[in-house]
Amino acid sequence: MNPSIACNPAAESKKAWRLRLRAGRLEASSDALANAALSEHLDALVGHLAPRSIGFYWPLPGEFDAREWIASWLAADASRRAALPVIAERHAPLHFYFWTPGAPMREGHHGIPEPDSAEAALPDLLLVPCVGFDRDGYRLGYGGGYYDRTLAAWPGAALPLTVGIAYEACRIDEGVPERGAHDLPLDAVVTEAGAHLVGRLAAR
């Protein structure tokens, strides 16, 4: 199977693309070698960027499960912190709260586990799951707009670096369809094939 999808994105709606790409991603996520390679490329990129805190995500079916990688990253340096998003209400910006392996969790909106913590975080870097992505770093998500709203309302002095986590099966060669004025490109995308730098990281 061709690992990337090179159809004309203008011919299909975002909904149709999501269905197509999620099926390919689900298959790719079951490949242990692909997951190991993705972990290695993520190691290299994050080691170069050297963030002190990382916001990540609780994995849904088909998404790369970053929990083991995060646990190893935390164990290597006691000063490092990790955080997970909390949805205070639907269609509102995400808020991040610190997380450690084995930390108490609760069920949040959409049935996604969230940290049962009162310690809010402003991560230096966000790992962002992708349904699809293109060469310019634009991301196709689930359609809820949570990450766009979160970055638009980010309370810190500087925006966190954004690293998309995907598989080559999620690549849209002709570009993410129906980009909006509010859409922001990621700073990098990591797949089993390597790290693709765009945005602020491409200029470094």
Domain assignment present for residue 4? The answer is no
Tell me the whole-structure pTM to 2 decimals. 0.90
Domain assignment present for residue 194? The answer is yes
Give the residue among 46, 59, 27 at the shortest CA–CA distance from 167. Answer: 27
4 has pLDDT over 50: no
- Name the domain count of the chain: 1
pLDDT at residue number 89: 83
68-97 core/surface letters (b: 16 or more CB in 10 A; e: else): ebbeebbeeeeeebbbbbbbeeeeebbbbb
Contacts with 120 (C-beta within 8 Å, 6 or more apart), sequence order: 95, 96, 97, 98
6 has pLDDT over 70: no
48 has pLDDT over 60: yes
| CA 116/CA 31 separation, integer angstroms | 32
> What's the whole-number mean pLDDT along residues 91-100?
93
Question: What's the CATH number where 54 sits?
Answer: 3.40.50.10420
Main-chain dihedrals φ then ψ at residue 35, nearest 5 degrees: -65, -40
Q: Average pLDDT over the chain, rounded to whole?
A: 90
The CA dihedral of 35, 46, 144, 6, to the nearest 10 degrees, is: -60
> What's the whole-number mean pLDDT along residues 101-118?
90
183 has pLDDT over 90: no
pLDDT at residue number 181: 67
> What's the whole-number mean pLDDT along residues 102-130?
93
pLDDT at residue number 44: 98
Domain assignment present for residue 1? The answer is no
Task: Render pLDDT for 61-72 as a digit per residue (tens, 0 to 9).
Answer: 999 999 999 999
163 has pLDDT over 70: yes
Confidence band of 12 (pLDDT split at 50, 70, 90): low
Supply the range of the domain harboring residue 27: 9-202
Domain assignment present for residue 2? The answer is no
153 has pLDDT over 60: yes
Contact yes or no for 183/138 (Cβ under 8 A): yes
Domain assignment present for residue 3? The answer is no
Task: Render pLDDT for 71-80 as a digit per residue (tens, 0 to 9).
Answer: 999 999 999 9
pLDDT at residue number 45: 98
| CA 86/CA 118 separation, integer angstroms | 11
